[in-house]
């Protein structure tokens, strides 16, 4: 009787052992860093108990915003790892198909996980303020460069999106106020651009010599509010101006407001002008402005 019980227990252990082992495989995917910033890269890492030999790691994914399924590329690095460039914010679905090896391999399986990446949400002017430019009655220009931000951090150089601006409340030295402008440019425009996470915006001054002479040095020639945003598409178009339909993808345009820059053209002297950032009511002078520099000194 006792030997029969022992045999039953041994048989039960033999039955349970292979089943438990078969269920212990690649079980998920994690990311490093855990909260990545748009425009940077993130590493996808398979959760693998290493109890089965994996002979093939197949990484792929989609961008699921607005019901679309825009395919994204993951570059495999070492076994169980791949990198993904976060070209835009939104929800990524990362999938990993695993092929096992060995004498009695488990069946292939696919694990997936969602990664939500915040979109760009702000700007920080990094170049162009206080840059002196000579006055020319035929017109001259200064380029303002602004770093795209996300959650108070710099968005990286891998960033999808066309920059657009909208000029509002432009007021001239003599009190004349221009009509507000629509968003510009259209695709292929020149005056505003986004490259590697930095937006360039060109400020042009063209004013008659008679009017120029009426403005006192240190006074504004013009003031205005410049709204900036990024626009890109997902779905049936991979990037602006390049239509590459795939399946039943739906084209969706995404707009990312980045804020408003309050700027002014200042007459430095009879031969030079510059662009400065205007302080908002109740705020300290913006860093880099002539007033803040005087206070710092």
Q: What is the mean pLDDT of the chain?
A: 81
pLDDT tens digits, 190-241: 588 999 999 999 999 999 999 999 999 999 999 999 999 999 887 654 433 3
- For the chain, which residues make up each domain, given as ranges? 26-117, 122-283
State how far the Cα of 220 lies from the Cα of 65, in Å rounded to an integer: 44
Strand-pairing partners, residue 45, are 30, 81
38-60-99 Cα angle (round to 5): 140
pLDDT tens per residue across span 228-278? 999 988 765 443 334 444 445 567 788 999 999 999 999 999 999 999 999
- How open is the CA angle 231-165-163, to the nearest 5 degrees? 35
Its pTM stands at 0.78
What is the assigned CATH class of domain 26-117?
mainly beta
What gap in Å lies between CA 102 and CA 106, rounded to an integer?
Answer: 9
The three-class DSSP label of residue 156 is coil
pLDDT tier, 61 (very low <50, low <70, confident <90, very high otherwise): confident
The Cα–Cα gap between 194 and 228 comes to 11
Higher pLDDT, 63 or 122: 122
End-to-end alpha carbon distance in the chain? 97
The model's pLDDT over 143-161, given as tens digits with 9 standing for 90+, comes to 999 999 999 999 988 998 9
Edge-to-edge strand list for the sheet holding 272-277: 133-134, 272-277, 252-269, 220-234, 162-172
Length of the chain: 297
Q: Which long-range contacts (CB under 8 A, 24 or more apart) does 282-291 make?
A: 286/125, 286/129, 288/125, 288/129, 288/130, 289/129, 289/130, 290/130
Q: What is the DSSP letter of 66?
A: G
């Amino acid at each position: 009787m006792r030997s029969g019980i022992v045999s039953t227990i041994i048989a039960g252990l033999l039955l349970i052992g292979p089943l438990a082992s078969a269920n212990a495989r690649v079980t998920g995917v994690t990311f490093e860093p855990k909260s990545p910033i748009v425009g940077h890269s993130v590493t996808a890492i398979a959760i693998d108990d290493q109890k089965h030999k994996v002979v093939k790691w197949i990484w792929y994914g989609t961008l699921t915003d607005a019901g679309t399924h825009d395919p994204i590329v993951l570059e495999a690095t070492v076994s169980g790892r791949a990198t993904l460039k976060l070209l835009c914010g939104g929800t990524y679905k990362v999938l990993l198909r695993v092929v096992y090896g060995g004498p009695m391999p488990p069946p292939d399986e696919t694990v997936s996980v969602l990664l939500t990446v915040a979109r760009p949400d702000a700007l920080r002017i990094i170049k162009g303020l206080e840059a002196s430019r000579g006055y020319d009655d035929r017109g001259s220009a200064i380029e303002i460069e602004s770093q795209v931000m996300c959650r108070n951090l710099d968005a990286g150089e891998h960033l999808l999106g066309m920059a657009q601006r909208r000029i509002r409340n432009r007021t001239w030295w003599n009190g004349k106020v221009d009509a507000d402008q629509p968003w510009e440019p259209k695709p292929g425009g020149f005056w505003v651009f986004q490259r590697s996470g930095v937006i360039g915006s060109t400020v042009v001054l063209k004013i008659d010599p008679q009017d120029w002479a009426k403005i006192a040095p240190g006074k504004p020639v013009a003031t205005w509010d410049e709204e900036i945003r990024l626009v890109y598409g997902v779905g049936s178009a991979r990037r602006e101006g390049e239509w590459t339909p795939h399946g039943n993808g739906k084209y969706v345009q995404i707009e990312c407001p980045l804020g408003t820059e309050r700027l002014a053209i200042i007459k430095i002297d009879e031969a030079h002008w510059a662009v400065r950032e205007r302080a908002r009511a109740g705020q300290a002078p913006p860093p880099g402005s002539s007033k803040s520099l005087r206070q710092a000194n």
